[in-house]
Amino acid sequence: MKVSSEPMENSQVALRVEMEKLEVEKYLEKAYLSIARRVTVPGFRKGKAPKSVMERHVGKETILQEALEQMISKAYEEALGSQNIEAIDRPEIELLQTEPVVFKAIVPIKPTVKLGNYKKTKIKPKPVEVNEKDVEATIEQLRRQHATLVPVERSVQFGDLVTIDVEGKREGEPFPIGKGVVYEVNKDSRLPLPGFAENLVGLDKDKDKSFVLCYPADHEIAELAGKEYEFKVLVAEIKEKQLPEANDDFAKGLGLDDLASLREQILNGLKQGADEKARLELEQKATDALVESSKVEYPPILVERAIDRLLSEEAENFRDGFEGLERYLASLNKSMETHRGELKPIAEKRVVRTLVLEKVAEEEAIEVEEVEVDAEIDKMSQGSGEQAENMKKVFNLPQARDSIKRFLKSKKAVECLVKIATNSA
């Protein structure tokens, strides 16, 4: 076997392997014996048909194909060892010729990361502010959540909850919407189309209205951009929200002693939320700054794997997983391949961010102890009720523990970056 290798861009190596004639004949013989044991040739017992007869019966190409499958796999592994190449994923293999057998393998190898000087990156944290106006806005939101719906005999106003019968046409063709649809008339609502809520304002009970709406030309879903819809709406019932008064009784209804206690709880919650938001912004800034100043080279297969993970995350939003995702894409006249292309920029950012943080963890000698993984598993299993023990068993599988350990190491790397960036900022 003759092997040569040549480095390529994007952390890849091109292997060229030429098989010796005797090696090929050995694999052809193995393939013949294997097929002979599985295939019945008229006039011969299984495994007893001569090679020449078997070649005529199944075809030389069939025997060669089986030989190649075994030969190339084994030869590839031996070629990696002879060239001291450490592959991080499956290669792309191309058969160049069969006489003699020559194949080429594009091998993905470990990415290279040259970090920017994160030791000199300085970021000034934004002061966290929560004021009385924020507290009042939260109380107002709570009042709306606990509002009482009361039927009214007047025209529709913003904030009402209406029951409507809706007929629709899409580019002249009727499409079902339904009767007795309950709809909240909010001024900024974009559903079912921008402008729908505005067209209901001023309508009286038992009155109908026909109108045409159009998706904006710059709509985020290109397939819907500029499409025209006709609606006919009949208002069957109008209810307005009557908000409870913000007093001690209202606070007691929420499980607190009085209104002052409610305000205090809201203030503390808003401060915690603001602190968390500020922390996340700092982490994002520190990470982005390092990513922008670093040089990263990686094999394309890492992006494909990242796209696979993104698709898996999307599929979790559908009851029947990938089938549901595919049906949704089909409803948008979009293929899975097109969607993979849309996800590619996101996947590339994920890959680069992960590689940079892994390098930071290496430079800073960041480690994660097994007890930390155990604690994270306990945390992840909380709230699972009767399924908590089963969840722990799943999380304790070797692959899952490794994934959790990588997550915790990445988290520590980000915390390290923030500490460095905010020290004397």
Q: Which residues contact 171 (CB under 8 A, 6 or more apart)?
A: 227, 228
Q: Which residues contact 194 (CB under 8 A, 6 or more apart)?
A: 213, 215, 216
Considering the segment(s) 148-242 as one domain, its CATH architecture is Roll (3.10)
Whole-angstrom distance, CA of residue 148 vs CA of residue 131: 29
| pLDDT values of the chain reduced to their tens digit, one per residue, 425 residues | 999 999 999 999 999 999 999 999 999 888 888 888 888 788 787 777 887 887 788 888 888 888 999 999 999 999 999 999 999 999 999 999 998 999 999 999 999 999 999 999 999 888 888 999 999 999 999 998 999 999 999 999 999 999 999 998 877 788 778 899 999 999 888 888 889 999 999 999 999 999 998 887 776 666 667 788 899 999 999 999 999 999 999 999 999 999 999 999 999 999 999 999 999 999 999 999 999 999 999 999 999 999 999 999 999 999 899 999 999 999 888 999 999 999 999 999 999 999 999 999 999 999 999 999 999 999 998 877 778 888 899 999 999 999 999 999 999 999 999 999 998 54
- Interhelix angle 60-82/21-38, rounded to 10 degrees, is 130
CA atoms within 13 A on the CB side of 155: 9
Beta-strand relationship, 148-151 and 228-242: antiparallel
The end-to-end CA distance of the chain, in Å, is 60
Superfamily of domain 264-422: Trigger factor, C-terminal domain (1.10.3120.10)
Sequence spans of domains, the chain = 2-109, 148-242, 264-422
Considering the segment(s) 2-109 as one domain, its CATH architecture is 2-Layer Sandwich (3.30)
